[in-house]
């Protein structure tokens, strides 16, 4: 049988530290090179992307009467997002829902039962809160986007100590109605919560 000659290498603490910090220095060098190359190529990327973004800004400036468009906020972006054809009901189903809501009767689907927030509130109403934002424009944009999707949305009255604008749906007399509306909102991609 042939025996193998294994060699064992032992390094002292000092040699291990030199090896470790040497590897850290090499990694730092490569990071610095990548960072500097990335910083130098950023203007080239920005100039290459400028022709792509220019037509969209020209269209928005024409729509806004020739002035430069302000930056979009999150809720305005949500409002302008195209609705999926899978989520929108057929046109005749919308007219049935609208006719039933204007007649004061509930529609065939439990999700379409909208309650007008100006009516008399139940003894213990439930609300579904979609968001609490610091800008009134964002709150109103979210309300408009929700109303386009046939949600009974409104901006709740602001208290003196609170500086947030709360976008809510309701009021709902029954907890199960509020929970059904919350489930529908979750299905549409929102993160709502129930409030009493």
Q: Following DSSP, what letter does each residue of 30-59 receive, concatenated?
A: HHHHHHHHHHHHHHHHHHHHHHHHHHHHHH
193 vs 162: CA distance, rounded Å: 18
184 vs 137: CA distance, rounded Å: 24
**Model confidence pLDDT, tens digit, residues 139-196:** 999 999 999 988 989 998 877 788 888 999 988 888 899 999 999 999 988 989 988 8
b/e per residue 75-91 (b: at least 16 CB within 10 A): bbebbeeeeeeeeeeee
135 vs 151: CA distance, rounded Å: 21
Residue 109: phi and psi, rounded to 5, are -95, 140
Q: Does domain 74-195 have CATH number 3.90.100.10?
A: no
Q: pTM score, two decimals? A: 0.40
3-state secondary structure of 193: strand
Residue 171: phi and psi, rounded to 5, are -80, 155
Domain ranges in the chain are 14-67, 74-195
> Pick from 91, 114, 92, 111: which is nearest to 101 by CA?
114
**Model confidence pLDDT, tens digit, residues 34-84:** 988 888 776 655 555 555 444 444 444 444 454 555 555 666 655 555 555
- Pick the more confident residue, 38 or 88: 38
């Amino acid at each position: 049988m042939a025996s193998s000659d294994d060699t064992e290498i032992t390094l002292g603490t000092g040699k291990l530290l030199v090896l470790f910090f040497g590897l850290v220095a090499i990694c730092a060098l490569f990071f610095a090179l990548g960072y500097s190359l990335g910083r130098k190529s950023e203007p080239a990327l920005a100039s290459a992307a400028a022709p792509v973004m220019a037509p969209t800004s020209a269209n928005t400036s024409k729509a806004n009467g020739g002035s430069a468009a302000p930056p979009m906020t999150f809720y305005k972006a949500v409002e302008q997002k195209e609705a999926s054809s899978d989520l929108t009901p057929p046109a005749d189903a919308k007219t049935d829902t609208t006719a039933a809501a204007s007649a004061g009767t509930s529609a065939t689907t439990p999700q379409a039962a909208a309650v007008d927030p100006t009516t008399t509130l139940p003894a213990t109403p439930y609300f579904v809160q979609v968001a609490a934002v610091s800008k009134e424009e964002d709150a109103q944009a979210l309300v408009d986007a929700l109303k386009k999707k046939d949600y009974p949305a409104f901006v709740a009255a602001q208290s003196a100590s609170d500086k947030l604008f709360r976008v809510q749906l309701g009021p709902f007399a029954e907890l199960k109605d509020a929970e059904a509306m919350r489930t529908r909102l979750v299905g549409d991609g929102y993160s709502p919560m129930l409030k009493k």
